[in-house]
Amino acid sequence: MFTIRALVFSGFAISLSAAGLKVQARNVVVYQEAGRFGGWPANQGIWSWGNEIVVGLRSAVFKVNPTGHARDNSKPQEEYQARSLDGGETWSIEKPREIVRPENGGPPPVDSPGGFDFTSPGFAMMLRSGDERASRFYISMDRARTWSGPYKLPLFGQPRIMARTDYQVFGKRELMLFLTAGKKNDKEGHVFCARTTDGGKAWEFVSWIGPEPDGYSIMPSSVRLSSREILTAIRRKEGDKHWIENYRTMDTGRTWQLFNRPAPSTGGHSGNPPSMIKLRDGRLAITYGVRAEPYGIRARLSSDNGGTWGAEIVLRADGGCWDLGYPRSVERPDGKVMTAYYFNDHQDKERYIGATIWDPGAK
């Protein structure tokens, strides 16, 4: 049985501040189950239609591990999704048969028929890496209630593809993916973009986003700023340093330039990926986990299309250890932001999916 909780921690709104910036925030539990490790919304994706929000997650068997993720790697992991109809206040847990991993008995990847309408009101796309070198994608036309797929993604001439969900729709049959490839030495990773113009049947490599790193460049999160301008936030690691950096294209992905570092540090333990969204008032919001004390979830805002970023906003700093983060964020109709992530209260306790509903204030 699932233990589903949607609670307001401490029973009231919390006022947090960073360098004079105050936000109102409430934390809720999205998914929590005894004996389970709930994890990694950033690996699955988030989709929203007004106050209806769906976020993907994975559930593994919990096992205390002082040096790594607290999961039992000898046991299979399960694929779930959580749905809210009230902007993230309360949640229900779903397990669509179509998204069960092929390795766990789900449907095998097949060639995509193409012809999908990416502008359909109920459209959603999920990208996933598999145990093999290639990745796959799933399509929904009914707000993630049912999925078709998995459909094969090409290797684009690379050693392997490690896909997570990040895409931008350009038209009825045209869509751009932001993906991570294995480097020339087969280690992760190097971010690139690819495009389809026939509704997902054929895909073409467009460009690398930045040079191949010595460490890694992985897990992009992108926003479209104009017809030709895209900003992509990337999880970076070099040596013992971990940060988030932005690349910008002014020619629809043909060329990219390093823009800045909205998060100069995301702590240790390999860092954390970003989630970047464009608010209706034109500002950008970026959220990320911090795997250094005080462990928790942070945010920053930009009022100039990512040219500069405000002070770090501490959404929460009560994590029990480093094993947390991987956020995905959406803006609600009322202007508040709902940020989902995986979290823990103590190193030796189960991991769960939490969310913070926070007010970015006026522009």
Instruction: Quick: pLDDT tens for 265-292.
Output: 999 999 999 999 999 999 999 999 999 9
At 22 the pLDDT is 62
Tens digit of pLDDT for each residue in 119-172?
Answer: 999 999 999 998 789 999 999 999 999 999 999 999 999 999 999 999 999 999
User: CA 275, CA 338: separation in Å to the nearest integer?
Assistant: 11
Partner residues linked to 204 by β-bridges = 195
Asked if 356 and 297 count as a contact pair (C-beta separation under 8 A), the reply is yes
At 15 the pLDDT is 46
For the chain, helix (H) and strand (E) counts, in that order, are: 1, 25
At 23 the pLDDT is 82
At 362 the pLDDT is 87
User: CA 338, CA 83: separation in Å to the nearest integer?
Assistant: 13
Spell out the alpha helix ranges (H) of the chain: 41-44
User: CA 161, CA 132: separation in Å to the nearest integer?
Assistant: 9
Asked if 94 and 85 count as a contact pair (C-beta separation under 8 A), the reply is no
Q: What is the mean pLDDT of residues 175-199?
A: 97
User: CA 217, CA 235: separation in Å to the nearest integer?
Assistant: 6
Tens digit of pLDDT for each residue in 215-249?
Answer: 999 999 999 999 999 999 999 999 999 999 999 99
* DSSP-based three-state secondary structure for 128: strand
Tens digit of pLDDT for each residue in 309-333?
Answer: 999 999 999 999 999 999 999 999 9
Mean pLDDT computed over every residue of the chain: 93
pLDDT of residue 16 exceeding 70, the answer is: no
Q: Is 181 exposed, middle or buried (0-12, 13-18, 19+ CB in 10 A)?
A: buried
pLDDT of residue 48 exceeding 90, the answer is: yes
At 6 the pLDDT is 37
User: CA 44, CA 20: separation in Å to the nearest integer?
Assistant: 34
Share of the chain above pLDDT 70, in %: 94
What's the token pair of residue 238? 């070099």
User: CA 208, CA 191: separation in Å to the nearest integer?
Assistant: 6
Amino acid 110 reads: V
What's the token pair of residue 1? 């049985």
pLDDT of residue 17 exceeding 80, the answer is: no
At 7 the pLDDT is 36
List the Cα angle 32/297/311 in 5-degree steps: 160
What's the token pair of residue 97? 């048969």
* DSSP-based three-state secondary structure for 358: strand
Amino acid 208 reads: W
Share of the chain above pLDDT 90, in %: 90
